[in-house]
């Protein structure tokens, strides 16, 4: 190891572990580039990227796990370099999140007839919140299934994290929603965590446009044309960024394993298995919902695969949103109005993983740890609190922390926040599954609403991706 500031602080390459990990990442990128040149299917390249990322993460941590140099320097340096590729790619996608949300909501509200807009809103909230209620029940079920005990996951959170969660817990229910109402349009447009506020701003602009199209059509027409042009341009930029996705997935997945370490994963294996069991159960429930709707779940998961894989890797529902909308509209036969409206709201309302399964699990664990009697009425209370609290939770990394805090506060356990640090210590590992479930639930809800609206194109849904290309 070279213990000089230039290598340890500036260059972030001071030991062989870092050099080896960077070399593996470069080899992986060139390998994936070769597959692209050979015209290998995009979905297959995504699967290969995920497997390579997992393999690199496990190999690097197994080799360096017992080394002081690796633990003190290598892990941080590798995370920094991998973040350059993985987080850098994710930032490019998130760069488009606010424009996509803003333009999508305006497009829907302006284009959809007034009466249909009311029914679309009602059906959207019903589908998103009803699946969240089901996911909360699944969260309770897996805690009981694995017989998890809250005391097994005790641990202290970092002081900064405690303070942040404490501030949220101190808010009353009305105050929490009051903070969603924007008071600075520029601040809202510059924060991916303010998706609900962006939706509100977009709805206000769209309502004004609808009014002016009747009263002053000639004056508002250029603005509408500009917004349409912006939407086309944003979609074009998105298409170019998506082509880089396999390289980002390798770095993101590899970095998740390396930065957390295999020991932290094995130490919390019970909770991890329980949460991913909940995810699998919900994915099966989606199969049942799709069958009831007369839609093939096999085709759905086949077409949703790359979107869900990116959600899994990126841990950001908002970051995945542009690709979610593209998949719903282009591959699944969902109408533009429904995909834009449901898909966009699905990043802030009723996220089945981050704001459903996970907070319900924590609520039951904490309640059992403090001696609360586990009755049917208590479980119903958990489901209600989780479902209502899921409204307005932005789909960015860290969302589940907010959702869990709101739930614990709603159940009266806000004071216990500082004692559940062990669970949040493995947050990146479980966040991958939660985010994937968020996006899957949003896409199922979009199909559900579009079927109810009678605008679902089943022929386009059944058409193969290869044929469409």
How far apart CA 341 and CA 303 sit, in angstroms, is 20
Total tally of structural domains belonging to the chain = 2
Catalogue the E-assigned strands of 39-163.
Answer: none
Alpha-carbon 216 to chain mean position: 40
**Same domain (yes/no): 70, 167:** no
How far apart CA 265 and CA 61 sit, in angstroms, is 12
Contacts of 216 (CB under 8 A, 6+ apart): none
Is 113 part of any domain? yes
Among 94, 122, 149, give the residue marking a domain's end: 94
Write down the H helix ranges in 243-356: 245-260, 262-267, 269-292, 297-314, 317-330, 336-345
Q: What angle do CA 48, 52, 53 make, to 5 degrees?
A: 115
**Same domain (yes/no): 307, 163:** yes
Is 382 part of any domain? yes
Is 252 part of any domain? no
Catalogue the E-assigned strands of 322-398.
Answer: none
Phi and psi at residue 303, to the nearest 5°: -80, -25
The pTM of this model reads 0.80
How far apart CA 47 and CA 45 sit, in angstroms, is 5
SS (H, E, C) 84-103: HHHHHHHHHHHCCHHHHHHH
pLDDT at 469: 47
Per-residue pLDDT of the chain (469 residues; tens, 9 = 90+): 788 888 888 888 988 999 999 999 999 999 999 999 998 988 788 889 989 999 999 999 999 888 888 888 889 999 999 999 988 888 887 788 788 888 888 887 887 766 777 888 899 999 999 999 999 999 999 999 998 876 666 555 555 555 555 555 556 667 767 777 888 888 888 776 677 788 888 889 988 998 898 899 899 999 989 988 998 898 788 778 888 889 988 998 898 888 878 877 776 788 889 999 999 999 999 999 999 999 999 999 999 998 999 899 888 887 788 889 889 998 999 998 899 889 888 887 888 998 889 989 988 888 877 777 888 998 999 999 888 878 766 555 556 677 777 777 777 776 666 566 667 667 778 888 999 999 999 999 999 999 999 999 988 998 876 545 4
Identify whether the C-beta of residue 311 lies closer than 8 Å to the C-beta of residue 436: yes
Question: What is the span of the domain harbouring residue 321?
Answer: 98-247+258-468
Among 94, 116, 147, give the residue marking a domain's end: 94
**Same domain (yes/no): 288, 428:** yes
Contacts of 140 (CB under 8 A, 6+ apart): 360, 361, 364, 379, 382, 383
Alpha-carbon 22 to chain mean position: 27
Cα Rg for the chain, rounded, in angstroms?
A: 23
Identify whether the C-beta of residue 449 lies closer than 8 Å to the C-beta of residue 186: no
**Same domain (yes/no): 413, 340:** yes
Identify whether the C-beta of residue 65 lies closer than 8 Å to the C-beta of residue 227: no
pLDDT at 153: 63
Is 403 part of any domain? yes
How far apart CA 311 and CA 29 sit, in angstroms, is 20
Find the CATH number of the domain harbouring 324: 1.10.3860.10
Is 298 part of any domain? yes
């Amino acid at each position: 190891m070279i213990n000089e500031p230039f290598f340890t602080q500036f260059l972030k390459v001071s030991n062989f572990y870092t050099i080896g990990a960077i070399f593996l990442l470069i080899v992986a990128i060139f390998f994936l580039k070769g597959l692209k040149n050979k015209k290998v299917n995009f979905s297959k390249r995504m699967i290969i990227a995920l497997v390579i990322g997992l393999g690199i993460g496990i190999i690097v941590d197994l080799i360096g796990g017992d080394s002081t140099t690796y633990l003190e320097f290598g892990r941080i340096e590798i995370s920094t370099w991998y973040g350059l590729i993985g987080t850098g790619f994710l930032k490019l996608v998130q760069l488009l999140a606010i424009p996509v949300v803003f333009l999508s909501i305006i497009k829907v509200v302006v284009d959809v007839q007034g009466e249909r807009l009311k029914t679309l809103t009602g059906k959207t909230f019903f589908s998103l919140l009803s699946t969240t209620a089901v996911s909360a029940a699944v969260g309770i079920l897996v805690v009981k299934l694995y017989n998890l005990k809250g005391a097994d996951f005790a641990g202290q959170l970092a002081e900064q994290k405690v303070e942040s969660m404490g501030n949220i817990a101190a808010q009353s229910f009305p105050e929490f929603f009051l903070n969603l109402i924007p008071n600075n349009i520029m601040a809202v447009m510059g924060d991916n965590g303010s998706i609900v506020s962006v939706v509100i701003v977009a709805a206000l602009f769209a309502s004004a446009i609808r009014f002016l199209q009747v009263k002053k059509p000639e004056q508002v027409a250029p603005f509408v044309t500009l917004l349409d042009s912006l939407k086309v341009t944003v979609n074009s930029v998105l298409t170019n960024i998506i082509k880089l996705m396999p390289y980002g997935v390798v770095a993101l997945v590899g970095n998740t394993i390396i930065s957390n370490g295999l020991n932290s994963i094995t130490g919390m294996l019970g909770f991890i298995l329980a949460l991913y069991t909940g995810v699998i159960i919900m994915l099966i429930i989606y199969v049942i919902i799709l069958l009831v709707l007369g839609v093939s779940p096999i085709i759905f998961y086949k077409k949703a695969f790359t979107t869900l894989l990116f959600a899994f890797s990126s841990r950001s529902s908002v970051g995945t949103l542009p690709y979610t909308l593209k998949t719903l509209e282009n591959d699944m036969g969902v109408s533009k109005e429904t995909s834009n409206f449901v898909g966009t709201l699905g990043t802030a309302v009723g996220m089945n993983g981050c704001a459903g399964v996970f907070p319900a699990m924590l609520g039951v664990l904490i309640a059992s740890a403090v001696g609360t009697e586990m009755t049917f009425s208590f479980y119903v209370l958990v489901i209600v609190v989780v479902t209502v609290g899921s409204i307005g939770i932005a789909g960015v990394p860290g969302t589940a922390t907010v959702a869990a805090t709101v739930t614990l506060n709603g159940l009266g356990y806000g004071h216990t926040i500082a004692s559940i640090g062990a669970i949040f210590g493995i947050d990146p590992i479980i966040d991958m599954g939660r985010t994937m479930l968020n996006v899957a639930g949003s896409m199922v809800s979009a199909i559900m609403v579009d079927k109810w609206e009678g605008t679902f194109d089943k022929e386009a849904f059944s058409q193969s991706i290869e044929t469409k290309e």
